[in-house]
Structure 1
Amino acid sequence: MLIRPPNYKNHPIFNRTSLSLAFLLCLLLLSNSLYADRSFIKCWKNADGLTECGNRIPREYYNQRIRYIDDKGITRKVKERSKTREELDEQFEADKLQALEAKQQQKIKEYDEVLLKTYLKIDDLLASLNSKLAIIESRSIILDSSIELKKREFGNLIRKAANMERSGKPISKSLSSQLDSTRTTLRNLQNQVSIQEIETAKIKKVFAHDVERFILSKAERIKYTLSTPSQAKKLHAVRVNCLNEAQCDLQWQKANDFIKEFASTKPIYTTDKVSVTDIPKTHNDIAMSLSILDDKSDRQPNDNKLIIFQIRCNPDRKGQEFCASSEINNLLKEFKSIIYQQ
């Protein structure tokens, strides 16, 4: 027969003893902590802003910043000042605003990632814009033609009705119905033109945003590689630094003037952050992109900015050979020398 040892765990005496030991242990730890606090000198600032120290903290200074100093004069603990209700409310609003900004920045980052995955080059994005605008333009041509036909038809009906009235005859129901129908058709066609204009403006607005975000995102990715001459030559690009607002404004204006003078494709989008010319269509076309961004790094002060200039050529073989030519390389050197020229 197997004899089991007694289960002391569930014995009432054992339970009472365990609880007593646990209670005594907590009491010992608490008393040590209280003793340590009592043995420290406490220092705080009074209502006049002067530092006071003592064994006890006056009740009116409980919520102030308190330093606990041992008998050797070493600060062992610091209790920070408790915040007022107003300060807590302000902190809550600041935290909420910070969280909102962080969320917005995350959305921008995700949007940029989608753009960079959708389009390989800025010219791909511009081609997509041109394609959508071309479709709308062809619709507009058809609409304009339809409106012109209906206007002529409506004019003929008006003249027919006027002739009937001059001859003393009433306008027939059939003619009146035709007038109403043509008038309604004309109104609908003109409404479609308005809708197309709104759609065109919306597309241009979205693509304007996308062009800026794409160029800035690309610039952020390549700005450090451009410090290596071989990489800069491969990307047909250069980077220049500006140290303050006045210098940055001057260099940015010079950069935009350079694009207007030397690009063979027309500028299609310009803001205070980016400039871009149209797609290079022939093998000897010179398209240009320009961006200015913060140069926040360990190597540069936070108020520095970086201007990145890039030449784009036609993607065919001859276009790429042209981009690798001495002509383009000299153009990049000239850009840099003009920007730094006083």
Structure 2
Amino acid sequence: MGQYHRNLCQLLALVLVSSISLDANAGIKCWINKEEVRECGNAVPAEYAQQGHTKFNAQGVAVGQKKRAKSQAEFAQEQRIKKQKAEEDRKRQEAEKADRVLLDTFSSEDDLVFAREGKVSAIEAQIQLTESHIEKIHANLDRMIAIAADLERRGQKPSEQAMADIEKVRAQVAENHSFIETKRTEQESVRQQYATDIERFRKLTGIR
């Protein structure tokens, strides 16, 4: 609205003050109706309550403005933005915490390399122990299979228990191989994590 309309609204508010019996503190509220015409009164009609209005005092001076209520879509968008910001803040705080831990734990890049090699070596020791265990299991499996084959050559059928034991040992071999694969993956994960940590450490300490 232009200056003319604002003056007209103030004048209308003054007229309403004189024509409507109001408490001095009640004020007058003005809103826009369906015909895009500004209306004023001591209370906003229910049908316009959600669209916002301007409040005037007894002298016709605007003393407050109530914004229109948000639509469901606007409210949902606002909530999405708040949620996104909260998630960004959480990630930022976690990153800052990780940086503090990194600098508090390691005083040099060599310390990081030493820690990395220590973890990789510890995993390698587990792998070698498992490989040694597999060799023993295989030896036992070969012996069990040889016994069953010898029985078959003599026309005898190995017992169901003997065959079940063979399958059980084969399953143990497979399980141990799977364990080794998992540990190899873990080693690679350790290397990648420390590569990231070393790069971050260099950035935080200004090392090139």
TM interval, shorter chain, is 0.5 to 0.7
Aligned to 2:67: 80
Separation in 2, partners of 1:180, 1:31: 96
- In structure 2, the residue corresponding to 1:134 is in which secondary structure? helix
Separation in 2, partners of 1:187, 1:113: 46
Q: Among the aligned pairs, what percent are the same residue?
A: 21
Separation in 2, partners of 1:180, 1:86: 64
In structure 1, the gaps of 5 or more residues are 1-29, 223-234, 237-309, 311-342
- 1:201 paired with 2:185, answer yes
Map 1:47-86 → 2, pairs under 5 A: 47=34, 50=36, 52=38, 54=40, 59=45, 60-68=47-55, 75-84=62-71
Higher share of residues assigned strand: 1
- 1:129 paired with 2:116, answer yes
Closer, same or farther: CA 161–45 of 1 in aligned 2, 3 Å: same
Map 1:221-300 → 2, pairs under 5 A: 221=204, 235-236=206-207
Separation in 2, partners of 1:92, 1:189: 54
Higher share of residues assigned helix: 2
Aligned to 2:103: 116
Post-superposition CA distance 1:223-281 (Å, at most 9, x none): xxxxxxxxxxxx55xxxxxxxxxxxxxxxxxxxxxxxxxxxxxxxxxxxxxxxxxxxxx
Residue 99 of structure 1: how far off its partner (Å): 3.5
- In structure 2, the residue corresponding to 1:120 is in which secondary structure? coil
Residue 79 of structure 1: how far off its partner (Å): 1.7
Aligned to 1:151: 138
Separation in 2, partners of 1:142, 1:114: 33
RMSD: 4.3
Q: TM-score, normalised by structure 1?
A: 0.40
Aligned to 1:33: 25
Tell me if structure 2 keeps the 8 A contact 1:45–1:51. Answer: yes
Residue 47 of structure 1: how far off its partner (Å): 4.1
Separation in 2, partners of 1:199, 1:31: 81
Aligned to 1:288: none
Closer, same or farther: CA 134–122 of 1 in aligned 2, 3 Å: same
Residue 151 of structure 1: how far off its partner (Å): 2.9
Tell me if structure 2 keeps the 8 A contact 1:140–1:193. Answer: no
Residue 152 of structure 1: how far off its partner (Å): 4.4
Aligned to 1:139: 126
Closer, same or farther: CA 64–183 of 1 in aligned 2, 3 Å: closer
Tell me if structure 1 keeps the 8 A contact 2:50–2:68. Answer: yes
Separation in 2, partners of 1:218, 1:211: 11
In structure 2, the gaps of 5 or more residues are 1-21
Counterpart code for 1:193: H
- In structure 2, the residue corresponding to 1:64 is in which secondary structure? coil
Aligned to 1:192: 176
Aligned length: 185
Q: TM-score, normalised by structure 2?
A: 0.59
- In structure 2, the residue corresponding to 1:33 is in which secondary structure? coil
